[in-house]
Chains A and B, each alone.
Chain A
Amino acid sequence: MERLGSQAMTEKTNTPPRRLRFEIFRFNPEVPESTPYMQSFEIDETPYMSLFIALNEIRERQDPSLQFDFSCRSAICGSCGMMVNGRPALGCRTLTADLPDTIRLHPLPVFKLIGDLSVDTGTWFREMAEQTEAWIHAREAFDPDAQEERMDDDLAEQIYERDRCIECGCCIASCGVANINPDFVAPAGLNRIARFMMDPRDSRDATDWFEVVSNDNGVFGCLGMMACHDICPKELPLLDVYAYLRRKALAARFSG
């Protein structure tokens, strides 16, 4: 894969750095008299510049009031999701070299806006976790002296594959349904359901799950637009998750 394609080209030909124009959504809901607007900033591109680097440069040198979230800078904390030219992406792993001269940044939709590019994904994920009861419903009381039950390697890997979700919220922002139906558990929620459904330690059976999954806020709310799968920064196989949930719902209904 020719990653950093245009970056390599710039270095080879020794051309002067690109002048990048950032159009950034500005709004502070804390200030009652303020209204949303787009503000432009210009900076010179540096080699291997990510949006994280670019936004920090803007905040340090041009506007200290600019709000955005970052923490780990390595696509694992899930704080820096934002709309980059209309596509949800992580700011830390999106390189300016892959983007045109003008870069449009918006906060992720669906979530509560904190200010400018910063949104509150935590509340949304907590509500989703409560709605789907995203925790192990233990069969029996925990016995600290008992030996842990063995789990098949394949199954452990399947569960881990669902657990790789970093809760950045990009899939939710890209989902047409999540954008208009606040009760939809959305891609990350369906992924979470599948994770606990697979877990043999969870006591919920097919009938319990059936009521959660088989409705418009569950997997049948999904229209199959597939955007979540295509934009997921962790490249989670989300389409497999929905197919799994659909087939489980079908099996739960017709197996008694």
Chain B
Amino acid sequence: MTDDTLNVRAEEARSQLVYELISGASGLCLAVFMWGHMVLVGSILFGARGFDWLAGGLEDYYIAQPTVIFIIVLFLVHAVFASRKIPAQLRERKQMIRLARDLRESGSSRPVPGSDYVPFRPHVESMLWIWQVRTGMVILVLGSFHLVLLGLDVFTPMFGMHRGIESATTLARVSGGLWPLYAVLLLCVEFHAGVGLYRLAVKWGVGARLSRAALWKIEHVLFWIILGLGILTLVVLAGWLDPPLAFLLEAAP
């Protein structure tokens, strides 16, 4: 082997490491951002006043605008780098799905009805990866739509009374018929982020300190808390429930 080939191999290895780091780090940032996002949207639980106060504050201090641009870039970067591992051929995908499904089913068999005894170690993570790809595709479409709308809200006066995010516009959008779209997006994002964080932790060996079972439990607790909060927020935005915490701000001047 000549020195040139060695250099090419080393160069290639360096890029592969960078791709892996970009896909993992962008996913981690987006997942963490989604928790913050949940808190921001969750401000609607304090009523229109709470929501508008928070949105206005973030815009007045120019926190919202750069964040929107940063997230859009991160969203696209993650889509490019995380998708590089998705098999291109339908035949390959089918083979992976069949394998994942068989592994999941054989891992859930209980030969003695009513007993806890499982002869094979349960295994669902292969199937979860397939679902991560599926939810990723949905997020790419619905998330892009959401980001375009939000970008227009923040940077143009196209929707609502003025430039910026307004509770009236958001409420009108969700209750006016877009709620199924946001419900699907919410479910996909929480699933994708939860499983993604779990996989990232296992891949890089956070499991050396925390067992895989512990990581699995943490992932589940986070998933249900954030999803619960998300559903509550969505129900309020759709107009089916009055903001439960609005009374806290009623007395404020």
| A interface, CB within 8 angstroms of B | 1-3, 5-6, 9, 83-87, 89, 95, 97-100, 109, 174, 176, 179-180, 207, 210-211, 213-216, 220, 222-227, 230-231, 239-240, 242-244, 246-247, 249-250, 253
Question: Which of B89, B102, B116, B129 is A225 in contact with, Cβ under 8 Å?
Answer: B129
CB <8 Å contact, A87 and B202: no
Given contacts A176-B99, A220-B20, contact A210 B13 (CB under 8 A): yes
Point out the residues of chain A lying under 8 angstroms from B12, CB to CB.
Answer: 211, 215
Alpha-carbon gap, A35 to B211, bound state (A): 47
The size bracket of the interface on B is: 35 or more
Question: Which of B16, B19, B212 is A239 in contact with, Cβ under 8 Å?
Answer: B212
Question: Which of A109, A214, A243 is B16 in contact with, Cβ under 8 Å?
Answer: A214
Q: Within the complex, what minimum Cβ distance (angstroms) separates B64 from chain A?
A: 34
Listed by A's residue number, 5 A-B pairs whose Cβ atoms lie within 8 Å are A2-B116, A9-B112, A207-B10, A224-B200, A239-B212
Query: Which 9 A-B pairs give the minimum distances between C-beta atoms?
Result: A86-B102, A243-B205, A98-B119, A87-B106, A214-B13, A5-B117, A230-B123, A226-B125, A2-B117
Alpha-carbon gap, A225 to B86, bound state (A): 13
CB <8 Å contact, A6 and B111: yes
CB <8 Å contact, A87 and B102: yes
Alpha-carbon gap, A1 to B115, bound state (A): 11
CB <8 Å contact, A247 and B205: yes
Of all chain B residues, which has the CB nearest A213?
Answer: B13
Whether a CB of chain A sits under 8 angstroms from the CB of B60 is no
Given contacts A225-B125, A250-B17, contact A180 B202 (CB under 8 A): no
CB <8 Å contact, A98 and B111: yes
Point out the residues of chain B lying under 8 angstroms from A174, CB to CB.
Answer: 99, 103, 126
Q: Within the complex, what minimum Cβ distance (angstroms) separates A94 from chain B?
A: 8
Whether a CB of chain A sits under 8 angstroms from the CB of B109 is yes
Q: Within the complex, what minimum Cβ distance (angstroms) separates B124 from chain A?
A: 9
Q: Which B residues, 102 to 136, have Cβ-Cβ distances below 8 Å to chain A?
A: 102-103, 105-107, 109, 111-112, 115-117, 119-123, 125-126, 129
CB <8 Å contact, A247 and B204: yes
Given contacts A215-B13, A216-B16, A230-B107, contact A239 B112 (CB under 8 A): no
CB <8 Å contact, B111 and A224: no
- Determine chain A's interface SS by DSSP, over half rule: helix
Point out the residues of chain B lying under 8 angstroms from A231, CB to CB.
Answer: 103, 120-121, 123
> Which interface residue of A89, A207, A249 has the most chain B CB atoms within 10 A?
A249
CB <8 Å contact, A243 and B95: no
Alpha-carbon gap, A6 to B125, bound state (A): 27
> Which interface residue of A98, A210, A223, A239 has the most chain B CB atoms within 10 A?
A223
CB <8 Å contact, B13 and A246: no
Q: Within the complex, what minimum Cβ distance (angstroms) separates B192 from chain A?
A: 14
CB <8 Å contact, A214 and B17: yes
CB <8 Å contact, B120 and A225: no
Of all chain B residues, which has the CB nearest A241?
Answer: B205
Q: Within the complex, what minimum Cβ distance (angstroms) separates A106 from chain B?
A: 10
CB <8 Å contact, A180 and B102: no
CB <8 Å contact, B203 and A225: no
Whether a CB of chain A sits under 8 angstroms from the CB of B213 is no
CB <8 Å contact, B205 and A246: yes
Given contacts A86-B106, A87-B102, A224-B199, contact A243 B123 (CB under 8 A): no
Alpha-carbon gap, A177 to B243, bound state (A): 48
Of all chain B residues, which has the CB nearest A250?
Answer: B17
Point out the residues of chain A lying under 8 angstroms from B122, CB to CB.
Answer: 230
Point out the residues of chain B lying under 8 angstroms from A227, CB to CB.
Answer: 99-100, 103, 123, 125-126
CB <8 Å contact, A214 and B14: yes
Of all chain A residues, which has the CB nearest B91?
Answer: A180
Q: Within the complex, what minimum Cβ distance (angstroms) separates B202 from chain A?
A: 6
CB <8 Å contact, B96 and A180: yes
Alpha-carbon gap, A176 to B240, bound state (A): 44
CB <8 Å contact, B129 and A224: yes
Point out the residues of chain A lying under 8 angstroms from B126, CB to CB.
Answer: 174, 176, 225-227
